[in-house]
Structures are given as structure tokens and as C-alpha cells.
């Protein structure tokens, strides 16, 4: 891919590059500031960089954001951005405004290889990993779009296409660029959530990075039997292993691990399932997000009726577990959880 792209390089790598091109490290810091802090992407507009350095840079490097192929607005105020990548693959990101927050849902892979039974992205299979530049580019593009309205992304969730922990190096690099307070984009890690299908070694590794980002685990069932039916990954890392990793993930005082639970009619939505879930989460600093299933053509699941969802929720609440029902945004534009799919070029 575009290894020549400056977007996606860590500030320290930009410093190294400046030196390699015969300039000082300071020039690398200026570059980082222009791209990540000021959102300026034209080398010619980087006015405090010496002309000579700019032209040496331009000979071998580019500052490239992924092309926005279309922006689809939803009734509910969210917007789906579909990016066309250099190899014509497509991924999407979703801008979701909510009161004073604007959350951006980011993709990390073209398609996904984990084949969860209820997820449309899972039907695509894995095409390829995104580069750090393509991940960072989604945020920078969203912020450029929002800047026209005097706003910016306030929170990020890695809940778009793909499995973030299966594209570990690019994920961590993108997060480092997002949270670097001086030369990166400057987000607090507490405003960033990495969601995983349950890759135990990835969770352990992420914990050791000490990035302090939030961890969300897609749980979806409280027994191995049901979970293995819904999520093939459960046959590699079962609930016991997963919960062990969740317990060990380093948390700040009021921080919790988020557990996502897609509600599937007649599959995992019984009060007995809720009781089992409450037992499973005993002693875990957890917050549960119940996601009523979002339908897609050809799926074999249905959303439970509202009373069933609420009955499930109240079992958890009674057990003292913070539990919210998360109505997905962008359902009308195919932008809701589990609805992201784009055609793969021939």
C-alpha cells in the first residue's frame, strides 16, 4: 500500500524521516503538528517548513487521505462515510452525534474473518488489513468534514468493519497517533474504545501497552454452547479464558470493561440467559450494552420484542450490573452495528 504516505507515521517516525532527508528532527515535529493537530494536508500550505524540505519531501512522499466515495445521512443524524481505498476496496466509518458527543465508529479491516453468525460484515470474509494511515485517515477526514460545521469528533469506537485486535500493529499505531498529546491528534485514551470479538492474546497484549483505552468485548452469550454456535472464535478462546483476560485488563478507578450483547430472539434473550450472564460477570468491573439485533437481508435472526429485552435488562440491573440498551444509529442507511458491508472489487 502507500508506504510513502506520511499519514499514519508516528510523530517519532516523522522526526526520523526528517533526519533521513537531511533536515532536523524539529521539521518532523512540525510535519506532525500540521497533519495531526491542524488538519492541514497540503505540503505547500505548511508555511513554516523550508521550501527546500517541502520539495525533497514531495519527491518521495505523499499526504494522502482515503477518498470519500459517498456520505449517506441517516434520519437520526448519523452519517455513513464510505471510503474508496487505493486498491478500490471500500470501508466505512460512521459519525454518530448524540447531545454534546460526536462518536466516530472506525473500521480496521476490509471485511472480517471471524464470521459471527449474526453479522453482515462477517459474510464478506477477510479481504485485508487496513494500514495505520487508512485508519488515521478515517478520523482526519471525519474531522475535516465536521470542521465545516464548527465541530469535531469527541469519541472514537473501533466497532466498524473488521476485528481491531487481528490488525494489532496498525491499530496500536493509529491509537498512539490519536492520543499523543503534543504531536498527535490529542484525544484522551478514555474517549477511545477498542472492541474485540474476544481474542484473548490480543486483549492481554493491549493491556500491556498501557494505552489506557477502553476495552469492549463482544460477548453475546453466557454459555460456551450458545457462544460457539454464534461465534466460531469461541472454539479457540472459550468464555473461561475470555473472562480471565477481561478480569486482568488494567482499569483506572472508575473505568469498566464494556460487554456487548446482541439480543437475538429465542437464541440468547431468555431471563435464564440473563441470570447466567450475571453470574459470569460476578466480580468483574463490567458495563453491559445490550444491542437489539439489526436485521439484514438473508439473516436467520430476529430482534426480540421490547418486553423481552427489558426483562433481560432488569435481571442484570437487579444483580447490580450497569446495563444499557443500545439502539444502534444509522439503521436506515445500513450503518448500524453489524450492517457494514461493501462490495469487493473484482
Q: Which residues bind ligand SAH (CB under 6 A)?
A: 116, 118-119, 159, 163, 195-197, 218, 260, 262, 291, 293-294, 337-338
Measured from the CB atom, is 55 or 201 closer to ligand SAH?
201
Q: How far is the CB of 248 from ligand SAH (least distance, A)?
A: 19
CB hemisphere CA count around 80 (13 angstroms): 25
Burial category of 234 from C-beta neighbours within 10 Å (exposed 0-12, middle 13-18, buried 19 and up): buried
Measured from the CB atom, is 132 or 194 closer to ligand SAH?
194
Measured from the CB atom, is 82 or 337 closer to ligand SAH?
337
Q: How far is the CB of 11 from ligand SAH (least distance, A)?
A: 27
Residues 101-139 as b/e (b if ≥16 CB within 10 A, e otherwise) read ebbbbbbbbbbbbbbbbbbbbbebebbbbbbbbbbbbbb
CB 59 within 8 A of CB 17: no
With CB atoms as reference, the residue minimizing the distance to ligand SAH is: 338
Torsion angle in degrees (nearest 10) through CA of 233, 236, 238, 244? -110
Measured from the CB atom, is 14 or 281 closer to ligand SAH?
281
Measured from the CB atom, is 262 or 316 closer to ligand SAH?
262
Q: How far is the CB of 295 from ligand SAH (least distance, A)?
A: 7
Measured from the CB atom, is 137 or 334 closer to ligand SAH?
334
* DSSP helix, strand, coil percent of the chain (3-state; round to 5): 40, 20, 40
Q: How far is the CB of 231 from ligand SAH (least distance, A)?
A: 8
Q: How far is the CB of 258 from ligand SAH (least distance, A)?
A: 10
Could you give the angle at which helices 25-32 and 11-20 cross, rounded to 10 degrees? 140
Q: How far is the CB of 47 from ligand SAH (least distance, A)?
A: 40
Residue 145 CA to residue 153 CA, distance in Å, equals 10
Amino acid at each position: 500500500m502507500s508506504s510513502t504516505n506520511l499519514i499514519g507515521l508516528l510523530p517519532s517516525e516523522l522526526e526520523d524521516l526528517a533526519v533521513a532527508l537531511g533536515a532536523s528532527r524539529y521539521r518532523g515535529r512540525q510535519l506532525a503538528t500540521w497533519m495531526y493537530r491542524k488538519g492541514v494536508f497540503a505540503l505547500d500550505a505548511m508555511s513554516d517548513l523550508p521550501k527546500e524540505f517541502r520539495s525533497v519531501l514531495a519527491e518521495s512522499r505523499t499526504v494522502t487521505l482515503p477518498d470519500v466515495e459517498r456520505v449517506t445521512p441517516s434520519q437520526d443524524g448519523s452519517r455513513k462515510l464510505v471510503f474508496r481505498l487505493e486498491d478500490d476496496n471500500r470501508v466505512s466509518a460512521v459519525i454518530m452525534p448524540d447531545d454534546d458527543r460526536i462518536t466516530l465508529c472506525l473500521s480496521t479491516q476490509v471485511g472480517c474473518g471471524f464470521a459471527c453468525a449474526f453479522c453482515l460484515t462477517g459474510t464478506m470474509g477477510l479481504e485485508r488489513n487496513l494500514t495505520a494511515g487508512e485508519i488515521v485517515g478515517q478520523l482526519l477526514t471525519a474531522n475535516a468534514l465536521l470542521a465545516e460545521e464548527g465541530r469535531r469528533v469527541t469519541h472514537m469506537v473501533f466497532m466498524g468493519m473488521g476485528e481491531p485486535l487481528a490488525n494489532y500493529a496498525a491499530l496500536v499505531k493509529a491509537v498512539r497517533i490519536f492520543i499523543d498529546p503534543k504531536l498527535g491528534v490529542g484525544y484522551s485514551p478514555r474517549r477511545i474504545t477498542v472492541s474485540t470479538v474476544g481474542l484473548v492474546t490480543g486483549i492481554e497484549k493491549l493491556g500491556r501497552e498501557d494505552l489506557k483505552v477502553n476495552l469492549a468485548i463482544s460477548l453475546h452469550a453466557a454459555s460456551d454452547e450458545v457462544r460457539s454456535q454464534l461465534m466460531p472464535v469461541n472454539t479457540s478462546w472459550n468464555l473461561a479464558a475470555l473472562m480471565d483476560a477481561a478480569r486482568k485488563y488494567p482499569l483506572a478507578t472508575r473505568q469498566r470493561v464494556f460487554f456487548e450483547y446482541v439480543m437475538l430472539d429465542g437464541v440468547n434473550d431468555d431471563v435464564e440467559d440473563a441470570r447466567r450472564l450475571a453470574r459470569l460477570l460476578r466480580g468483574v468491573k463490567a458495563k453491559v450494552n445490550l444491542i437489539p439485533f439489526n436485521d439484514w437481508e438473508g439473516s436467520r435472526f430476529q430482534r426480540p420484542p421490547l418486553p423481552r429485552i427489558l426483562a433481560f435488562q432488569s435481571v442484570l440491573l437487579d444483580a447490580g450490573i450497569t446495563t444499557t440498551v443500545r439502539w444502534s444509529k444509522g439503521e436506515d442507511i445500513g450503518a448500524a452495528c453489524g450492517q457494514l458491508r461493501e462490495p469487493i472489487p473484482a
